[in-house]
């Protein structure tokens, strides 16, 4: 049994997409992170910081997006979303999968919040270095870890699509083309449709779109 703890239109949307790519059966447990008063305290038993995503698989709980992706792709390896140990693409796959959360996400978040800092004092370094690194990679590779689509693309393309839509990440040609290529996959479209339908049941979003 696989249970997915999720909030629509959040950082866990990448894992939603990944589950659709894997084609496995799962049950979705909605965690309303936007609820007035916050997430119920009981959820700390699953995720200590009351964040999403989290999964529970056969009684084992896994949190943190990169860890969840690595776990799922190794368990359901027949889907082919992760190079196996010994494959030359395994290292870049792991590198970019972790990079999405450990460098890209915090660098963009700091930029979006207008945080001024000395890059040497933060593990994720500078926004400019991150942008240059990703652009170099995508100018020479169709997918972030090489010539084939992997879970690292779910992480990076998912992050990039949202942050470009918010104008936090520059719309460089390599970025736009890459996101379009990844987002055109049937699983990406299914996940987006399901996320939208779930979002429309969330009180905070209902209020937002009704203008109240």
Query: pLDDT digit string (tens) for 19-62?
Result: 999 999 999 999 999 999 999 999 999 999 999 999 999 999 99
Q: What is the number of structural domains in the chain?
A: 2
Handedness of CA 101, 133, 173, 116 (dihedral sign): positive
Q: Is 155 in the same domain as 197? A: no
Q: Is 141 in the same domain as 125? A: yes
Domain containing residue 69: CATH number: 3.40.30.10
What is this structure's pTM? 0.95
Q: Is 138 in the same domain as 174? A: yes
Q: Is 158 in the same domain as 75? A: no
Q: Is 178 in the same domain as 117? A: yes
- Structural domain that includes position 27: 2-80+188-210
What confidence score (pLDDT) does residue 52 get? 98
pLDDT greater than 60 at residue 212? no
What confidence score (pLDDT) does residue 21 get? 98
| Mean pLDDT along residues 93-98 | 98
Q: Residue 195: pLDDT band by 50, 70, 90 thresholds?
A: very high
What confidence score (pLDDT) does residue 209 get? 82
Q: What is the signed CA dihedral for 70, 72, 76, 82, rounded to 10 degrees?
A: -30
Q: Tell how far CA 195 is from the center of its chain.
A: 13
Q: Is 180 in the same domain as 101? A: yes
| Mean pLDDT along residues 106-112 | 98
Q: Is 75 in the same domain as 105? A: no
Report the interhelical angle of 65-75 vs 13-22 (nearest 10°): 10
Q: Residue 196: pLDDT band by 50, 70, 90 thresholds?
A: very high
What confidence score (pLDDT) does residue 211 get? 61
Handedness of CA 27, 46, 109, 113 (dihedral sign): positive
pLDDT greater than 60 at residue 1? yes
What confidence score (pLDDT) does residue 104 get? 98
Q: Is 149 in the same domain as 201? A: no
Residue 65 located in a structural domain: yes
What confidence score (pLDDT) does residue 50 get? 97
Domain containing residue 127: CATH number: 1.20.1050.10
Cα distance between residue 182 and residue 184, in whole Å: 5
Percent of the chain with pLDDT over 90: 96
According to DSSP, residue 83 is labeled P
């Amino acid at each position: 049994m696989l249970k997915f703890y999720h909030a629509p239109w959040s950082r866990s949307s990448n894992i939603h997409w990944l589950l659709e790519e894997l084609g496995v059966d799962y049950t979705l447990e909605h965690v309303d992170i936007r609820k007035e008063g916050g997430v119920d305290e009981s959820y700390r038993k699953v995720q200590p910081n009351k964040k999403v995503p989290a999964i529970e698989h056969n009684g084992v709980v896994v949190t943190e997006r990169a860890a969840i992706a690595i776990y799922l792709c190794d368990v359901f390896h027949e889907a082919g979303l992760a190079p196996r140990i010994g494959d030359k693409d395994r290292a870049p796959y792991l590198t970019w999968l972790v990079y999405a959360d450990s460098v890209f996400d915090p660098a963009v978040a700091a930029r979006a919040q207008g945080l001024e800092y000395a890059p040497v004092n933060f593990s994720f370094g500078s926004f400019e270095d991150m942008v240059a690194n990703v652009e170099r990679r995508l100018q020479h590779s169709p997918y972030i870890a090489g010539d084939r689509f992997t879970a690292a693309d779910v992480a990076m393309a998912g992050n990039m699509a949202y942050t470009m839509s918010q104008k936090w990440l520059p719309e460089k040609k390599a970025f736009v083309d890459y996101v379009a290529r990844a987002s055109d996959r049937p699983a990406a479209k299914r996940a987006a449709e399901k996320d939208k339908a779930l979002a429309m049941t969330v009180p905070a979003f209902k209020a937002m779109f009704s203008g109240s």
